[in-house]
Amino acid sequence: MDSLSKEKRSWNMSRIRSNDTKPELIVRSFLHRNGFRFRLHDKKLPGKPDIVLKKYKTVIEVRGCFWHRHERCTKATSPSTNTEYWQTKFQNNMQRDKRHERELHDLGWNLIVVWECEIRGNTFPPKALLDFVNEQRNISSTFNARKS
């Protein structure tokens, strides 16, 4: 028996196929509601980040817990068959993420990682995202106050 339920597997598979996965849409609509403008999947940046907020030199990556091995997350299960295959795959994904993180950092970009499990249930918006939005709001209100 595989440790992944059938339902979960088909959900995971659907995540690989599409760029416009649901968790990403939730983050996008949250940003939109808060008045942020952004670009999607910018090919010019390392790792083609999901959401690019150029004005704030910030990118947001929406990561699937299973594929990107969210630490201490119950969704980051390890299939009990083809162990080696999966371990290699996971290692590659993590190394790629780390490399892109470094490259973005070197280019002066701020990276916010939002995990798929933080989007479900009542954990949304996750702290990293909320902090970012509040921070930008404070900066702009200070600016406006100074102007008037």
Nearer to Zn ion, 36 or 66 (CB): 66
- Contact (CB, 8 A) for 60 and 27: yes
- What is the nearest approach in angstroms of Zn ion to the Cβ of residue 93? 14
Nearer to Zn ion, 15 or 34 (CB): 15
- Is 53 near Zn ion (CB under 5 A)? no
Q: Give the whole-angstrom CA distance, residue 141 versus residue 143.
A: 5
Segment 68 to 107, residues that bind Zn ion, using CB under 5 A: 70, 73, 75
- By beta-carbon proximity to Zn ion, the closer residue of 59 and 117 is 117
Q: Which residues pair with 112 in a beta bridge?
A: 60
Judged by CB under 5 A, does residue 115 bind Zn ion? yes
- Reference 38, options 59, 53, 26; nearest CA is 53
Can residue 119 be called a binding residue for Zn ion (CB under 5 A)?
A: no
- According to the binding rule CB under 5 A, does residue 117 interact with Zn ion? yes
* Contact flag: residue 129 with Zn ion (CB under 5 A): no
Residue nearer to Zn ion on the CB measure, 74 or 148 = 74
66 is a site residue for Zn ion (CB under 5 A): no
> Closer to Zn ion at the Cβ: 73 or 133?
73
Residue 4 tokens, joined: 């992944």
Q: Which of 130, 133, 113 is nearest to 47 (CA)?
A: 113
Kindly state the greatest CA–CA separation across the chain.
67
Q: State how far the Cα of 136 lies from the Cα of 120, in Å rounded to an integer.
A: 25
Total number of residues that touch Zn ion (CB under 5 A): 6
d(C-alpha 35, C-alpha 44), whole Å: 24
Alpha helices, H only, 3-117:
6-17, 22-33, 83-106
- 109 interacts with Zn ion by CB under 5 A: no
List residues binding Zn ion (CB under 5 A).
65, 70, 73, 75, 115, 117
